[in-house]
Amino acid sequence: MVLASLVPLSELEDSPFLVDTRRQYAACRDWAERNGYAIAATVETNNAPVTTPALWQDVEAGAEAFLCAGPRILDAALESASDFAEHCASRGIRLITVECPEPAYTAEMKAAVHRRLSLPTAGYDGC
C-alpha cells in the first residue's frame, strides 16, 4: 500500500512534494517495481490517527507493507509516525520509506500541480 500525504494546496509554495501526490506515488511505484512488490492500494491522509480504519483495510485483506515516499510525507500523513510504526510492527507489517530525493520544483511544475488540484471538476487531469 502506498501512504501519501494529503495536505492543502496552500502548502504548494513551501512544500510542493507534500502536495504532489502523483510524484509521491511515482516514487513508491518505482521502488516497488525495483524490489518485487506490487501496489495494491493507495491511501491519502493528513495528520490521521493511527487507528483510522482506511489505513488498515487493505492490511486486513492481505497487504504486506506500507510504502511512503519519505519521512516528511509520513510525518504529514499521520498524527504520529512513531505510533504508526509501532502499530505496523505489532501487526507484522513492514513500513518502508523509500527515501527518494524530493524533486526541485520549478515554477512550471508547481503551476501544473496547482492546475491539476484546483481544476478537477472542469475535467482537467493534469496532463
C-beta neighbour count of 103 within 10 angstroms? 13
Question: Phi, psi (5° rounding) for residue 101?
Answer: -70, 135
C-beta neighbour count of 54 within 10 angstroms? 11
For residues 18 and 6, is the Cβ–Cβ distance under 8 A?
no
Read off the pLDDT band of 59 (50, 70, 90). confident
pLDDT of residue 125 exceeding 60 = no
Read off the pLDDT band of 21 (50, 70, 90). very high
Q: What is the CA radius of gyration of the chain?
A: 15
Alpha carbons 122 and 51: distance in angstroms, whole number? 35
DSSP label of 78: B
Confidence (pTM): 0.86
| Residue 124 CA neighbour count, 13 Å, CB half | 11
C-beta neighbour count of 53 within 10 angstroms? 7
Read off the pLDDT band of 99 (50, 70, 90). confident
